[in-house]
């Protein structure tokens, strides 16, 4: 099966070229779709110059910064592979793990796979309150979706292409994570798996972008999509 790797990108000039090269070096059949979300730090010049010339890579440019979710929506629409997976543009997640994430789909056991940072894989030790926040959001997500995930907020989410393209996704920023999880849980017949992954988190000095505001937005989205079913 071919895997479409969708990479939302905003102000990642320091990592984007190395990240794409690592994706291309990983051992699986792939297309790479990089969606730049209005970067202002020189990322676009790298994408239009060095990255766009790499084999099996497509570069899409958003006219302005709209958010990670909006970049993902566009990448999902453009995907042509049998499987679609999200890959962040930083180096927190190792693309060499993509084959193990998509394996349950390839083997016919799953339709969607989440790569969990909390199932035993090695990870960099960082912020305590971030881990608490992730745990709370995952718990609340499980309560409204009736799933038993361990890591709802993970970047590594892989989908059969027909499934992700069939969802009417609305959240343009980090609300994508709870929205897609709730909507997948309500899609009849979907088989969701989790697999352990390693994780090398960044500090804010390294360029980490998630903030407490995104946590509150996630809570709002869980209420919006989990309780009121818009």
Q: What would the pLDDT profile of 32-84 be if each residue is shown by its tens digit? A: 999 999 999 999 999 999 999 999 999 999 999 999 999 999 999 999 999 99
Inter-helix orientation angle 176-185/212-226, to 10°? 30
Q: What span, in angstroms and rounded, lies between the C-alpha atoms of 111 and 101?
A: 12
User: Residues 165-178: what's their mean pLDDT?
Assistant: 94
pLDDT attached to residue 193: 98
pLDDT band, residue 130 (cuts 50/70/90): confident
| Domain residue limits, the chain | 3-226
What pLDDT score does 93 carry?
A: 94
CB-CB neighbours of 21 under 10 Å: 14
**230 has pLDDT over 60:** no
Helix (H, G, I), strand (E, B) or coil at 113: strand
Residue 209 in this model has a pLDDT that exceeds 70:
no
In sequence order, the β-bridge partners of residue 31 are: 4
Average of pLDDT values for 159-180? 96
- Asked whether the predicted pLDDT for residue 208 surpasses 90, the reply is no
Write the pLDDT tens digit of every residue in 183-206. Answer: 999 999 999 999 999 988 756 565
> What mean pLDDT do residues 6-25 have?
97
The candidate with the shortest Cα–Cα distance to 134, out of 149, 144, 121, 146, is: 149
Query: What number is the average pLDDT over the span 166-171?
Result: 96
Name the strand (E) or helix (H) holding 221: helix 212-226
- Residue 204 pLDDT: 58
Inform me whether the pLDDT recorded for 211 exceeds 90: no
The mean pLDDT value for 180-185 works out to 96
CA 140 to chain centre: 20
Q: Please give the mean pLDDT across all residues of the chain.
A: 92
Please provide residue 175's backbone torsions phi and psi, each rounded to the nearest 5 degrees.
-65, -10
In the CATH scheme, what is the code of domain 3-226?
A: 3.90.550.10
State how far the Cα of 102 lies from the Cα of 162, in Å rounded to an integer: 15
pLDDT of amino acid 229: 65
pLDDT at 151 over 70: yes
Q: Give CA–CA dist 161/136, Å, rounded.
A: 29
Helices 128-145 and 176-185: crossing angle, nearest 10°?
30
C-alpha distance from residue 24 to each of 27, 30, 189, 205 (Å): 8, 8, 33, 28
Q: What does the pLDDT read at residue 207?
A: 58
Bridge partners (DSSP) of residue 176 are none
Give the chain's length. Answer: 230
């Amino acid at each position: 099966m071919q895997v479409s790797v969708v990479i939302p990108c905003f102000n990642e000039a320091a990592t984007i070229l190395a990240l794409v090269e690592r994706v291309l070096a990983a051992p699986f059949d792939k297309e790479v779709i990089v969606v730049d979300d209005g970067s202002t730090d020189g990322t676009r010049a790298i994408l239009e110059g060095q990255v766009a010339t790499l084999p099996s890579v497509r570069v899409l440019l958003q006219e302005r910064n709209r958010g990670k979710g909006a970049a993902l929506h566009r990448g999902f629409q453009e995907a042509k592979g049998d499987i679609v997976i999200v890959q962040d543009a930083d180096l927190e997640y190792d693309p060499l793990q993509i084959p193990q994430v998509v394996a349950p789909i390839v083997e016919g056991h799953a339709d969607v796979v989440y790569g969990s940072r909390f199932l035993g894989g090695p990870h960099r030790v960082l912020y305590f309150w971030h881990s608490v926040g992730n745990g709370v959001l995952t718990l609340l997500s499980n309560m409204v979706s009736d799933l038993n995930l361990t890591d709802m907020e993970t970047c590594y989410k892989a989908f059969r292409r027909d499934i992700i393209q069939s969802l009417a996704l609305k959240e343009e920023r980090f609300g994508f994570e709870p929205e897609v999880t709730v909507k997948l849980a309500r899609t009849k017949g979907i088989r969701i798996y989790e697999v352990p992954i390693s994780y090398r988190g960044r500090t804010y000095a390294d360029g980490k972008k998630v903030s407490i505001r995104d946590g509150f937005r996630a809570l709002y989205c869980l209420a919006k999509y989990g309780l009121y079913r818009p």
